[in-house]
Structure 1
């Protein structure tokens, strides 16, 4: 008996010792065990070319009556989705003449038809290009052409955006369909009536029999330094692999997922929609996020899981407090970009909701997840990551916009606690698929000779930091892109739009930080053409016409000249650091006032109102 007690006591002491020495060991082991289990399943499916479509069709067979989508109070089962997608596929096959390998673009908002058409295209063996419905003109046209789109399917309310580029679409032989039953525009066909008339009978599997895990599945657009969106190629395997993220986060088949993020985003489409298919869950689909309706919807539809970006969590926390703040079934929130103070406020106010913050990119080749729940971190380092998916944080010269290299021409890894550029090794397990018809930008993302000659790493363009406890923190973005309202904004694209107006000669666009807000908001330093005055109303009208709300420069700074580097690149870092404080900047400053529909002169009173949070941006 004494020996037994001694052994038990020894084990207890050993466990306690391990806990104090390695407080996150159990979290690490549990996470790695989950990853290995999923990876085994994923590799098995990869060998059999088991795609998201294959998984969906299995759901239809095994759980046909289970609710798949809830939208504006109406429920659609997995079988309903199957039948509707059959109708969409048949209509597109007959009237758009689509066949396996063709690409069709979706310019649609969050609605069930988006899902039916996406699944229908997959049943034809086609690739879907997911267009941001906020883009217009040159950017929209570029997205269509770079993917070699054969067909454009647009929402009825976006007909004006389509008509603006219709002549070029005709020249390129791109068929255009409006999701409506009526349309009086020459060269544009209706689609809703054709879908309604089509058969709901299953299609032959032969239509997608040539699709392999290496085949393109979707294109998702990401802004870059070129000034125009880039079409990130997402293969069938990468799409399928990413759908397991909800499983890693703890989502199960009994959950109800609330999806308000746009389906053209990776989070909405891959983690939300595709992830729900993999888990066999129900999703509540919303046209757009509404803070005032959020908890009402959660209670009404018994929501247990939500997707978020940082701004969404802040909006929820800004709603008036009520007695039933904790009266809900929400248990899990998955997303990125939440500030530590908002994180604390959210869980303190609304209850014990697990926040699964993650770090990932559509065009990236690896990701992190904060599976421990450490407030502020975007992920955690463990030996599995370092072994299977090699990566590093390297020294980066922000002013020169390039990695720092040693005397041998190799990159230098930063020590723990220091900020560095995140790079991940390109391997068979972590491939980089690149961008559609854009070899220059594809190659630009590759970083060669990082730690040894001829090795290849992917340049994330993000600055991260790893602390002494192996938690990862996002610090900032490098290059010519900033993030605002959950959207990436390419500064060169905005500059091109600004110089279209006849009063601006040059424009340098960058993001500036505003207290209490995630990301950076747009600001432009501009040079006026000789003899021109800054026209506040005309400037507002121009940006409102050509730019989505999140990309419009909130502040404009009038300068006599723009400072350039030795290689004639515009200097943004110094301008971003100077911000928009009128007491520190002698140049004329203007603020975009939505109420007056004009740019107005920036005053100290207005500045104080913005930084205090009284002025809503």
Structure 2
């Protein structure tokens, strides 16, 4: 053996040891970046061949490769890739003929989870038309605002939501909106049926000429998200962004043999853009559920031979809170993909239900920053990956929660946080990492942009999320900032809720915020109010107002009556101290009330109710 070989053999173990000590996650970091880079390169190669390449091309490729493989399972119905292709053709022809759709015309959909959602979406893609995914919980003012924002001239609604449609129908008809029920007949004057027209339509392919101008920058979908502006905002999802959203299921190892359980609403990007879109990318099968059910979850997994499912943090906690059974590990699930799971719930879930790979991710519909916990460390959303940061730059900056704005140094620039310090996540906006913004009022888009962040002229996207990075480089989600909090997997805009609460005739002023509840994910709604002079609190009247105008997850569960509101120097409501106080009747001297659905009122919050909430005997 030569002297050189001897040196090399002696140095290699030392290098290996140094890497383990100082860079223990180096190979995982590089592997994740390489997979991300390779996926992006594959998409780019397809775009070089055709600038009009979209998710439709990927879907049609799967149809040609596996026409008879199940794509959608729903209740006792099964639809193959070919079935969905043909049904989307029928939908396209029916809408083309009866709604007179042309390329670029937007159609709003107002239905729950069902297979027709998928072939409506693909029928519209075949016509070159964007889809606006309305939240089926919205009503009245929120409904009209969301619909108008998309610029849609056609509405497709589920017949079981006819009362919500009829409430706004006069306004829609004034705007010459064409309204269809997804049914074979309609009992509402001014609303047409659609299912019968689809069944009578041809299933022949749609000519490419109908979508000839569609490219990666064309709008594919509008997904609604609540933010600091109050009412829902229509986030613009381009066809290019849609192509990129298939990455997560590719990354975690989903194959055509997998069966993915989908209990999340399709109007959310998690279900539509990551779930359904990811299934198409991998050629997998999706079990579509109308809504999440704790009691049916594992039975469904066994019935459909589910191998993977999507979750939000609440999903996992609900499952862990069910009574233990002997068959808890009797299933084929190997992967769970989602976001928002706490470290303690993560560990309890795996211990109880078996060796299921938890794939925690961080992303937002409109954002240009995403993370994936590829290292599998419980409680984290990912790692501060140097390679990824070079590809799509992001930063975590100091944020003044009380003033609700980034901290600026004397030169007017933002300040990066140190490791272990909580800060605001921002993503650099440039060609490789765009921010498409929102439809409608451009002030919505501008409010999400941060300018002159580290130097004059640079531009970043404000995620509105506070994160912290530990010494090992693991990233942890801390909280949301501003006027939005998350409850039951939904974003709740405090401005919108405040407007509704303030409509009650005895309330002078309302300040809505989210408070933490032990053993619950996210924050639940609470409002501090000031009564009008000479008026008394009326629990039944407030209940009637919020139940008529807000979805259940957005209704404030707690009310605090104050004599005066704390405000900032710019007269904005301060929420920090209210959030810290929570809803504890032992420490809060102000009158407190609790929303009681059984009695349809807000009743005094006493110690017994408070203890029942903490002991989880009273479910929220």
Q: Same fold, TM exceeding 0.5? A: yes
Match for residue 457 of structure 1? Answer: 460
- Aligned counterparts of 2:213 and 2:385: Cα–Cα separation in 1: 38
Superimposed CA distance per residue, residues 224-277 of structure 1 (whole angstroms, 9 cap, x where no aligned partner): 111111100000000110122211222222211111110000000011101101
The 3-state SS of whatever aligns with 1:497 is helix
- Aligned counterparts of 2:373 and 2:486: Cα–Cα separation in 1: 21
1:590 to 580, 589, 593: 593
Tell me, yes or no, if structure 1 residue 95 matches structure 2 residue 98. yes
Match for residue 504 of structure 1? Answer: 507
2:537 to 522, 534, 537: 534
Superimposed CA distance per residue, residues 302-357 of structure 1 (whole angstroms, 9 cap, x where no aligned partner): 11111000000011111111112111111111111111111010011111111111
Match for residue 31 of structure 1? Answer: 32
Q: CA deviation at 1:98?
A: 0.9
When structure 1 is superposed on structure 2, of 537-546 and 306-315 the one drifting more is: 537-546
Match for residue 47 of structure 2? Answer: 46
Match for residue 376 of structure 1? Answer: 379
Match for residue 149 of structure 2? Answer: 146
Match for residue 119 of structure 2? Answer: 116
Query: Do the aligned partners of 1:87 and 1:198 also contact (CA within 8 Å) in 2?
Result: yes
The 3-state SS of whatever aligns with 2:188 is coil
Match for residue 478 of structure 2? Answer: 475
Show structure 1 runs of 5+ residues with no match: none
Q: CA deviation at 1:16?
A: 4.1
Q: CA deviation at 1:11?
A: 4.0
Superimposed CA distance per residue, residues 121-163 of structure 1 (whole angstroms, 9 cap, x where no aligned partner): 1111100000100011001100111111110100011111111
5 Å-filtered alignment, 1:339-418, equals: 339-418=342-421
5 Å-filtered alignment, 1:49-448, equals: 49-448=52-451
Q: CA deviation at 1:604?
A: 1.4
- Aligned counterparts of 2:205 and 2:36: Cα–Cα separation in 1: 35
- Give the structure-1-normalised TM-score: 0.98
Tell me, yes or no, if structure 1 residue 492 matches structure 2 residue 495. yes
Query: Do the aligned partners of 1:46 and 1:237 also contact (CA within 8 Å) in 2?
Result: no
2:571 to 568, 590, 600: 568
- Aligned counterparts of 1:464 and 1:613: Cα–Cα separation in 2: 29
Query: Do the aligned partners of 2:384 and 2:473 also contact (CA within 8 Å) in 1?
Result: yes
Match for residue 20 of structure 1? Answer: 21
Q: CA deviation at 1:612?
A: 2.5
- Aligned counterparts of 2:521 and 2:100: Cα–Cα separation in 1: 45
When structure 1 is superposed on structure 2, of 275-284 and 12-21 the one drifting more is: 12-21
The 3-state SS of whatever aligns with 1:102 is coil
- Aligned counterparts of 2:519 and 2:2: Cα–Cα separation in 1: 61
Superimposed CA distance per residue, residues 453-486 of structure 1 (whole angstroms, 9 cap, x where no aligned partner): 1100111111100111111101111100000000
Q: CA deviation at 1:190?
A: 0.8
Q: CA deviation at 1:45?
A: 2.4
- Give the structure-2-normalised TM-score: 0.97
Query: Do the aligned partners of 1:393 and 1:421 also contact (CA within 8 Å) in 2?
Result: yes
- Aligned counterparts of 1:399 and 1:363: Cα–Cα separation in 2: 26
Query: Do the aligned partners of 2:74 and 2:114 also contact (CA within 8 Å) in 1?
Result: yes
1:331 to 1:540, Cα distance in 2 relative to 1, 3 A:
same
- Aligned counterparts of 2:534 and 2:199: Cα–Cα separation in 1: 59
- Aligned counterparts of 1:318 and 1:386: Cα–Cα separation in 2: 38
- Aligned counterparts of 2:415 and 2:174: Cα–Cα separation in 1: 50
- Aligned counterparts of 1:505 and 1:100: Cα–Cα separation in 2: 48
- Aligned counterparts of 2:253 and 2:575: Cα–Cα separation in 1: 41
- Aligned counterparts of 1:305 and 1:498: Cα–Cα separation in 2: 41
- Aligned counterparts of 1:191 and 1:9: Cα–Cα separation in 2: 75
1:418 to 1:96, Cα distance in 2 relative to 1, 3 A:
same
- Aligned counterparts of 2:512 and 2:485: Cα–Cα separation in 1: 10
Query: Do the aligned partners of 2:33 and 2:388 also contact (CA within 8 Å) in 1?
Result: no
- Aligned counterparts of 1:215 and 1:394: Cα–Cα separation in 2: 32
Q: CA deviation at 1:21?
A: 2.9
The 3-state SS of whatever aligns with 1:488 is strand
Q: CA deviation at 1:62?
A: 1.5
The 3-state SS of whatever aligns with 2:292 is coil
- Aligned counterparts of 2:16 and 2:247: Cα–Cα separation in 1: 32
Query: Do the aligned partners of 2:347 and 2:378 also contact (CA within 8 Å) in 1?
Result: yes
The 3-state SS of whatever aligns with 2:540 is helix
Query: Do the aligned partners of 2:510 and 2:527 also contact (CA within 8 Å) in 1?
Result: yes
Q: CA deviation at 1:6?
A: 8.4
- Aligned counterparts of 2:311 and 2:10: Cα–Cα separation in 1: 45
Q: CA deviation at 1:5?
A: 9.1
- Aligned counterparts of 1:73 and 1:29: Cα–Cα separation in 2: 44
- Aligned counterparts of 2:6 and 2:341: Cα–Cα separation in 1: 48
RMSD over equivalenced CA pairs, Å: 1.5
- Aligned counterparts of 1:33 and 1:448: Cα–Cα separation in 2: 31
Match for residue 522 of structure 1? Answer: 525
Query: Do the aligned partners of 1:68 and 1:283 also contact (CA within 8 Å) in 2?
Result: yes
**Aligned residues, how many?**
617
- Aligned counterparts of 1:366 and 1:248: Cα–Cα separation in 2: 16
Q: CA deviation at 1:10?
A: 5.5
- Aligned counterparts of 1:310 and 1:109: Cα–Cα separation in 2: 21
- Aligned counterparts of 2:20 and 2:53: Cα–Cα separation in 1: 41
- Aligned counterparts of 1:512 and 1:393: Cα–Cα separation in 2: 24
Superimposed CA distance per residue, residues 37-93 of structure 1 (whole angstroms, 9 cap, x where no aligned partner): 111102112332321111111111111111101110221100000111111111111
- Aligned counterparts of 2:118 and 2:534: Cα–Cα separation in 1: 53
The 3-state SS of whatever aligns with 1:308 is strand
Query: Do the aligned partners of 1:179 and 1:190 also contact (CA within 8 Å) in 2?
Result: yes
The 3-state SS of whatever aligns with 1:31 is helix
Query: Do the aligned partners of 1:303 and 1:330 also contact (CA within 8 Å) in 2?
Result: yes
The 3-state SS of whatever aligns with 1:434 is coil
Show structure 2 runs of 5+ residues with no match: none
Q: CA deviation at 1:301?
A: 1.2
